[in-house]
Amino acid sequence: MTAGVRLAGIVKTYAGARALDGVDLDAAAGETLAILGPSGCGKTTLLRTVAGLDHPDTGSVHIDGRDVTTRPPGERNVAMVFQNHALLPHLSVAENIAFGLRARGRRRPDDVDRRVAEAAALAGCDHLLDRRPAHLSGGERQRVALARAVARRPAVLLLDEPLASLDAHLRSRVRLDLRQVFDGLGVTVLHVTHDQAEAQALGHRVAVVAAGRVHQVGTPDDVYDRPADRFVAGFLGIPPMNLFEVLDGDPPRAGPFCLVGPAVPGGRRLDAGIRPEAIRLGGAGEGTPGRVQAVDPTGADAIVTVEAAGCRVVALVPRHGRPVVGEEVRVVARPGAFHLFDRDTGAAWAHPGPP
């Protein structure tokens, strides 16, 4: 059974500060919506509001068309997985998974066992049923927490940074498994994370949240290629987008680069952003001269920080053939690769076309 989730006008105040400031959010039935944002942006509060663990000051929560704003958590058919797996240490894995089923008190033993086996198989922990949580690794515990959540066949699955306490290697492996579980169940998933790679890998759509407000909701490509405002532009992308003030002139300048292409409207204060991967190190006579300040090889690429024309520019170049610190280079921006943002409101003004 799947259900859509709809949040409308949610406001939640904690000790005088607005944790959620008028949030409207929709997740279609069966969709995985990744809720992405920095720490303290209110995304956990959002999740708890959907679960019914916190009540909003104003606003409504609908699950599958039903208004559940005033319903207790137990009546919403929602399940949750926490970063801290919250398994009961005195019960075995099988008993932990069955806990939610038994809490309702109306299950026959063989029915419970079957459900537990199904959920454990789905989450990949069916070989651990007799163990105690203390004897499991971090990844195994999260699988058990997941099995516990899906055993009840909830309408909505809520995950609160479930992979945050796993090491990077394990995280990417478990991420793949999660994707399979979500697709297999067809359940509506709200997945809260501060890890943008995770959000883009797991979410059909991504909601970018900061300071209790939703900045943008869109597919991973939408939020990356066409960010709605300066915050989203700066948050998505590693390394972050370069942002420069647009200086009037003929042609207008942004940092060490000249802006050519569609007319930049005059009389408006703008910022221009360009992603590091759209900047290359050119040959003699090209672009703007600069000096390399730092070089960070990461995987197949290298992050090169260059000081050019008094501005700090970050470029992403292939790892092999990367420059060394102190080298004189020339930075070249791909034509038409600039995003334009209104300097005062931060809202996006123009986006580059596809490369």
Per rule CB under 8 A, is residue 75 in the interface with another protein? yes
* Among 5-13, 83-91, 215-223, 322-330, the segment contacting another protein (CB under 8 A): 83-91
* CB 290 to another protein: min, Å: 50
* CB 69 to another protein: min, Å: 16
Nearer to another protein, 53 or 243 (CB): 53
With tokens 């069916």, the residue in question is 126
Per rule CB under 8 A, is residue 99 in the interface with another protein? yes
* CB 79 to another protein: min, Å: 6
Identity of the amino acid at 23: V
With tokens 């033993």, the residue in question is 109
x/- string (CB under 8 A) for another protein, residues 45-74? ---x--xxx------------------xxx
Are 351 and 273 in contact by the 8 Å Cβ rule? The answer is no
Q: In the set 14, 40, 67, 103, which binds another protein (CB under 8 A)?
A: 103
Q: In the set 59, 100, 139, 212, which binds another protein (CB under 8 A)?
A: 100
Question: How many CA atoms are closer than 13 Å to the CA of 226, on its beta-carbon side?
Answer: 8
Cα 153 off chain centre by: 25
Q: How far apart are CA 103 and CA 297, in angstroms?
A: 52
Nearer to another protein, 89 or 355 (CB): 89
Give the pair of three-digit tokens for residue 90: 């005195």
Give the pair of three-digit tokens for residue 30: 């069966």
What single string gives the DSSP state of each residue in 38-61? -TTSSHHHHHHHHHTSS--SEEEE
Nearer to another protein, 89 or 354 (CB): 89
Q: How far apart are CA 315 and CA 107, in angstroms?
A: 59
Q: How far apart are CA 288 and CA 268, in angstroms?
A: 26
Per rule CB under 8 A, is residue 9 in the interface with another protein? no
> By CB neighbour count within 10 A (0-12 exposed, 13-18 middle, 19+ buried), where does 238 fall?
exposed
x/- string (CB under 8 A) for another protein, residues 275-294? --------------------
Per rule CB under 8 A, is residue 209 in the interface with another protein? no
Identity of the amino acid at 277: E
Taking CB atoms within 8 Å and a gap of at least 24, the contacts of 296-302 are 297/322
Number of residues engaging another protein in binding (CB under 8 A) = 27
Per rule CB under 8 A, is residue 89 in the interface with another protein? yes
Kindly report the length of the chain.
355
* CB 73 to another protein: min, Å: 5
Nearer to another protein, 33 or 157 (CB): 157
Chain contacts with another protein (rule: CB under 8 A): 48, 51-53, 72-76, 78-80, 82, 84, 86, 88-90, 99-100, 103-105, 132, 134, 148, 152
